[in-house]
């Protein structure tokens, strides 16, 4: 059939479908009297229409949800791909799934990497990858993973490589204390492999501890040559949260971050990072976010690896090798892997010499000389505990300050005599900055000096919040629009301090005006919906979804479950966004009842109400009441008055400590 | 900094809408991972016989990924459309692989997890639907798109109309004609 013919058929078909079933035949007979073929075609489609029933009516995902859930479906069905029989899944990453498989022709184990469909759907990209991977498979070196085959079977693209029975450098860093000798041995093999690849004109581009393995017999193998290019993202993407999904930039060279053309010297940089990390268990360039990490890569010098009195010459040499590999200026770096290899070998000799001198093999961490810049692991753990404790204290503190600010406003700092909206822009920025630093300090973290960009971003959010409501009230989307940004602001503010936040967004549809929401979803665009199905799971029938008495406890349980998903919720923060007119207090009451059973709920739970009815002047005073100190802690610090907002944490309300203004 | 992430998503969605194929490749892992994460969370508490609400899932994925910005309806339409396309790719890819699984001696080793996977019948059905849909696309691209949005993206008629910037009436008519056409096609081919 041609598109033109289909158009003709459709006109007749649609006209017939607009009529009652009994009149359709007659219409076809009449309109198609000169075209019996058209009549047959339309008739058969009419018949198909009648028979189709619920064909396609249930969405695919609802039937095939398990596809999203099954991690190891291939393994689960004893699958064969070409000559390879899958044995078990070894891992799953951005580049697809990796399986342990057996090559049935040669009866040997292989690691089978299966490329996800979305990487191979672009023929051009696939071709480039194959060229690269095949070039890499030509590399024959004892420190480079052997690629057996780059192939395709039944539409599944795969790479079969040697299976390595061993550990990645990442696992070694985590699990074991490497001796200095082991460290040098790994480094020599790593750089030696790179040197061979570079000689063949192949740059790895993604050297990191996950991509280097040590077999049980001590042989080091570099994995995934050529694959990095396939997934490589320009630096502009890596700077974003979204891009973060594509991998950490921690091992990436400055020129790679800038998106410039890279050569073998980018691998040398990455080696330097890996060496530094093996030695100190710290990354030389780290930040709370990828953007911070990138700034560190471009602008900061890594913390020096301090060498104290008992220093050995070997350690000093390593330090200088790492320094040279981590030169931001490529022309100052080692120009070839071979040069770096020479220096590493001299460390090995020095070490052997030292060893003869000292007598015993000394463990890295035991060498007194190596008092590195690292914060030891136990210290990190202590810091985490301390910051959680500090958080709890802070929350009490905020609550206290809030009460105090109500009771005694004269204590407020000088600039609080003016509200936020009355400040100049510079003052507002200064204010936000000051508060951010204060919060950071309160949370036991090192004081953070935010850069201008971050400050402005936060200020934008604050500005948006304090903007006066439009006359006549806001539409529902506008309310969500106003409330939603805080979700990410707060989440980011806390995640930057490594405190997990669960954000439940809860929109029970219990207002009569929005009753149709769950049917056509017009009212709850973009936000999570408390759908009839969810309601049913919490014991509320669809017909009862407008009954506050039934919905409130369901909502409370729902929120509590989301919190409990974190496991140990004593370390988490939960923010819940509630939007409806009636019943807010009922949910609060129900939550308080729940919280009595678990003290953590009291401490960590905050509610942000975007309450439709209150988005007028009353809201601006009363929302204060609802918008939590959580928000204050993140952005406003202890000065809600400055924002013409008064806010209390739920816990304070639960204690009955705050009277309504 | 949050604005960066958002403009990134917005930009990718817009690139995709304008036919840049690399945008889809960047969006896919991002959206797929998010969908998986959410689906896993749902499943962890809805053990038995649950079905996922596609719209809720996609809504949540959008909210999380769009995060820093106030929900933008234009963006959201594009997001839904691209998600429908991605879901289609994932399911068809899965179905294709499933179909080629060899039956034989090993099959009794299949652990309980097999129940999690797709049946052969379902896989065949999806592959057939995909082929029929490709053919429909050559006849009437918008109808194929309506089916993709509705069936793979879980969109309601109203949402489909919004996503395609056409009237609800048009979508309703497209849907019924497309369904009849596809039903007949698949029936005749099988």
The pLDDT assigned to B133 comes to: 94
The answer to whether residues A510 and A547 touch, using CB atoms and an 8 Å cutoff, is yes
The pLDDT assigned to A646 comes to: 36
The pLDDT assigned to A57 comes to: 87
Task: Pick the residue from chain A with its C-alpha nearest to B86.
Answer: A118
**With 0-12 CB in 10 A as exposed, 13-18 as middle and 19+ as buried, what is A175?**
exposed
What is the rounded distance in angstroms from the CA atom of residue A5 to the CA atom of residue A1? 6
Give yes or no for residue A457 having a pLDDT over 60: no
The number of folded domains in chain B is 1
- ipTM, 2 dp: 0.83
What is the tens place of the pLDDT at every residue in B27-63? 877 787 777 777 766 665 544 444 556 667 777 777 7
Q: Packing angle between helix A3-17 and helix A36-52, nearest 10 degrees?
A: 60
The pLDDT assigned to A366 comes to: 38
What is the rounded distance in angstroms from the CA atom of residue A46 to the CA atom of residue A592? 59
The answer to whether residues B16 and B24 touch, using CB atoms and an 8 Å cutoff, is yes
Q: Is A473 left (phi over 0), alpha (psi -120 to 50) or beta?
A: left
Contact state of A526 with B63 under an 8 Å Cβ cutoff: yes
- Going by pLDDT thresholds of 50, 70 and 90, the confidence category of residue A626 is very low
- Find chain B residues with C-beta within 8 A of A521's C-beta: 55, 59, 156, 158-159
Lowest mean pLDDT: which of A300-309, A601-610, B142-151, B168-177?
A601-610
Contact state of B179 with A55 under an 8 Å Cβ cutoff: yes
- Going by pLDDT thresholds of 50, 70 and 90, the confidence category of residue A273 is very high
Contact state of A155 with B29 under an 8 Å Cβ cutoff: no
Closest-CA distance, B14 to chain A, in angstroms, reads 16
What is the tens place of the pLDDT at every residue in A638-653? 344 454 443 332 222 2
**Boundaries of domain holding B125:** 2-189
Structure tokens at A492: 């980011």
What is the tens place of the pLDDT at every residue in A339-351? 999 999 988 888 7
- Find chain B residues with C-beta within 8 A of A117's C-beta: 89-90, 93
What is the tens place of the pLDDT at every residue in A380-408? 333 333 333 333 333 333 332 322 222 22
Q: Looking at the annotation, which residues of A are catalytic?
A: 206
Closest-CA distance, B53 to chain A, in angstroms, reads 6
Which member of A65, A118, A241 has the closest CB to residue B29?
A: A118
| Chain A / chain B CB contacts < 8 angstroms | 262
Task: Pick the residue from chain B with its C-alpha nearest to A531.
Answer: B56
Contact state of A67 with B110 under an 8 Å Cβ cutoff: no
φ and ψ of A471, to 5 deg: -60, 145
Task: Pick the residue from chain A with its C-alpha nearest to B24.
Answer: A118
Write out residues 518-577 of A within 8 Å (CB-CB) of B: 520-522, 524-529, 531, 533-534, 537, 561, 565
Give yes or no for residue A508 having a pLDDT over 60: no
- Measured from the Cβ of residue B110, the count of other Cβ atoms closer than 10 Å reads 13
A183-to-A177, A211, A375 alpha-carbon distances in Å: 10, 16, 20
- Measured over the CA atoms of residue A361, residue A362, residue A364 and residue A370, the dihedral's sign is negative
Write out residues 322-381 of A within 8 Å (CB-CB) of B: none
pLDDT, average across residues B117-133: 83
The answer to whether residues A315 and A307 touch, using CB atoms and an 8 Å cutoff, is yes
- Find chain A residues with C-beta within 8 A of B88's C-beta: 60
DSSP letter for each residue of chain B: -HHHHHHHHHHHHHHHHTT-HHHHHHHHHHHHHHHHHHHHHHHHH--SS----HHHHHHHHHHHHHTTS---HHHHHHHHHHHHHHHHHHHHHHHHHHHHPPPSGGGGG--GGGGGS--HHHHHHHHHHHHHHHHHHHH-HHHHHHHIIIIIT---HHHHHHHHT--HHHHHHHHHHHHHHHHHHHHHH-
Contact state of B55 with A241 under an 8 Å Cβ cutoff: no
Which member of A7, A14, A242 has the closest CB to residue B8?
A: A242
- Find chain B residues with C-beta within 8 A of A477's C-beta: 71, 73
Indicate the average pLDDT of chain B: 74
Q: Which residues pair with A577 in a beta bridge?
A: A505, A608
Write out residues 438-497 of A within 8 Å (CB-CB) of B: 453-454, 457, 460, 477, 480-482, 484-485, 487-489, 491-492
The pLDDT assigned to A54 comes to: 85
How big is chain B, counted in residues?
Answer: 190
Task: Pick the residue from chain A with its C-alpha nearest to B150.
Answer: A59
The answer to whether A51 faces chain B, any CB pair under 8 Å, is: yes
Nearest one of B149, B152, B146, B153 to B180, comparing CA atoms: B146
With pLDDT > 70 as the criterion, what percentage of chain A qualifies? 46
Nearest one of A559, A540, A558, A542 to A550, comparing CA atoms: A540
**With 0-12 CB in 10 A as exposed, 13-18 as middle and 19+ as buried, what is A599?**
exposed
What is the tens place of the pLDDT at every residue in A160-218? 888 888 888 988 888 767 888 889 999 999 999 999 988 888 888 889 998 899 998 89
Which member of B8, B33, B96 has the closest CB to residue A237?
A: B8
The answer to whether residues B79 and B62 touch, using CB atoms and an 8 Å cutoff, is yes
For residues A89-102, one letter each, b for 16 or more C-beta atoms within 10 angstroms of the residue's C-beta and e for the rest, the string is bbeeeebbbbbbbb
Write out residues 82-141 of B within 8 Å (CB-CB) of A: 86-91, 93-94, 96-98, 100-102, 106-107, 109-111, 113-114, 116-118, 122, 126, 138-140
The pLDDT assigned to B34 comes to: 74
């Amino acid at each position: 059939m041609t598109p033109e013919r289909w158009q003709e058929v459709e006109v007749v078909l649609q006209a017939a479908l607009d009529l009652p079933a009994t009149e359709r035949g007659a219409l076809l007979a009449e309109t198609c009297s000169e075209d019996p073929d058209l009549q047959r075609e339309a008739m058969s489609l009419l018949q198909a229409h009648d028979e189709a029933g619920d064909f396609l009516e249930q969405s695919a995902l609802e039937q095939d949800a398990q596809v999203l859930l099954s991690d190891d479906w291939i393994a689960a069905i004893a699958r064969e791909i070409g000559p390879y029989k899958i044995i078990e899944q070894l891992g799953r990453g951005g580049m697809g799934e990796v399986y342990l498989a057996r090559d049935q022709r040669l009866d040997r184990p292989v690691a089978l990497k299966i490329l996800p469909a979305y990487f191979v759907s672009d023929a051009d990209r696939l071709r480039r990858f194959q060229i690269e991977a095949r070039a890499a498979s030509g590399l024959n070196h004892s420190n480079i993973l052997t690629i057996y085959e780059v192939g395709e079977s039944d539409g599944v693209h795969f790479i079969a490589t040697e299976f390595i029975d061993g550990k990645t450098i990442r696992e070694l860093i985590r699990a074991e204390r490497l001796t200095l000798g082991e460290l040098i041995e790994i480094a020599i093999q790593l750089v030696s492999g790179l040197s061979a690849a570079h000689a063949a004109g192949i740059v790895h581009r993604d050297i990191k501890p996950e991509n280097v393995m040590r077999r049980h017999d001590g042989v080091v193998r570099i994995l995934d040559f050529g694959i990095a290019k396939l997934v490589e993202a320009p630096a502009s993407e890596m700077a974003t949260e979204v891009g973060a999904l594509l991998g950490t930039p921690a091992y990436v060279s400055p020129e790679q971050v800038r998106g410039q053309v890279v050569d073998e010297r980018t691998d040398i940089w990455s080696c330097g990072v890996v060496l530094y990390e093996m030695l100190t268990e710290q990354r030389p360039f780290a930040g709370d976010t990828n953007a911070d990490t990138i700034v560190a890569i471009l602008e900061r010098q890594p913390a020096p690896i301090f060498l104290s009195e008992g220093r050995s010459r070997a350690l000093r040499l390593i330090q200088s090798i790492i320094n040279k590999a981590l030169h931001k200026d490529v022309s100052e770096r080692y120009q070839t892997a071979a040069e770096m290899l020479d220096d590493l070998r001299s460390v090995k000799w020095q070490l052997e010499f030292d060893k003869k001198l000292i007598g015993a093999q000394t463990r890295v961490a035991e060498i007194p000389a190596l008092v590195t810049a690292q914060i030891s692991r136990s210290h990190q753990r202590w810091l985490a505990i301390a910051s959680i404790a500090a958080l709890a204290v802070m929350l009490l503190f905020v609550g206290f300050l809030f009460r105090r600010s109500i009771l005694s406003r004269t204590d407020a700092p000088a600039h609080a005599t003016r509200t936020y909206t009355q400040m100049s822009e510079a003052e507002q920025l200064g204010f936000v900055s000051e508060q951010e630093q204060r919060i950071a300090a309160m949370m036991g973290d090192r004081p953070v000096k935010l850069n201008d960009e971050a400050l402005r971003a936060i200020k934008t959010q604050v500005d948006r919040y304090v903007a006066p409501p439009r006359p006549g009230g806001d539409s529902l989307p506008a309310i969500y629009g106003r409330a939603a940004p805080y979700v990410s602001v707060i989440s980011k503010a806390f995640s930057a301090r490594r405190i997990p936040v669960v954000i439940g967004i809860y929109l029970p549809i219990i207002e009569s005006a929005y009753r149709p929401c769950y049917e056509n979803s017009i009212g709850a665009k973009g936000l999570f919906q408390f759908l009839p199905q969810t309601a049913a799971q919490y014991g509320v029938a669809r017909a009862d979804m407008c009954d506050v008495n039934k919905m409130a406890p369901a909502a409370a349980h729902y929120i509590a479950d989301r919190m409990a998903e974190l496991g140990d919720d004593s370390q988490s923060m939960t923010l819940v966004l509630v939007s409806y007119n009636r019943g807010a207090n009922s949910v609060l009451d129900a939550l308080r009842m729940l919280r009595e059973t678990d003290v953590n709920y009291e401490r960590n739970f905050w509610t942000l109400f975007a309450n439709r009815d209150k988005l007028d002047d009353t809201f601006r005073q009363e929302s204060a009441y609802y918008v939590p100190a959580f928000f204050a802690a993140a952005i406003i610090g202890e000065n809600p008055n400055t924002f013409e907002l008064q806010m209390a944490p739920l816990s304070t309300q639960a204690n009955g400590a705050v009277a309504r203004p | 900094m949050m604005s960066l992430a958002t403009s990134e998503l917005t930009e990718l969605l817009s690139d995709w809408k304008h036919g840049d194929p690399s945008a889809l490749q960047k969006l896919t892992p991002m959206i797929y991972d998010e969908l998986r994460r959410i689906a896993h969370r749902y499943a962890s508490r809805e053990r038995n016989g649950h079905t996922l609400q596609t719209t809720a899932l996609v809504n949540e994925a959008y909210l999380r990924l769009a995060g820093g910005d106030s929900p933008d309806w234009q963006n959201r339409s594009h997001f839904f459309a691209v998600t429908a396309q991605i879901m289609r790719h994932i399911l068809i890819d899965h179905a294709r692989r499933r179909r080629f699984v060899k039956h034989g001696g090993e099959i009794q080793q299949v652990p309980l997890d097999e129940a999690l996977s797709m049946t052969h019948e379902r896989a065949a059905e999806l592959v057939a639907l995909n082929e029929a849909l490709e053919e429909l696309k050559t006849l009437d691209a918008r109808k194929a798109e309506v089916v993709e949005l509705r069936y793979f993206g879980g969109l309601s008629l109203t949402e489909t109309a919004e996503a395609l910037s056409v009237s609800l009436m048009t979508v309703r008519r497209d849907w019924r004609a497309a369904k009849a056409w596809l039903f007949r096609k698949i029936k005749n081919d099988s």
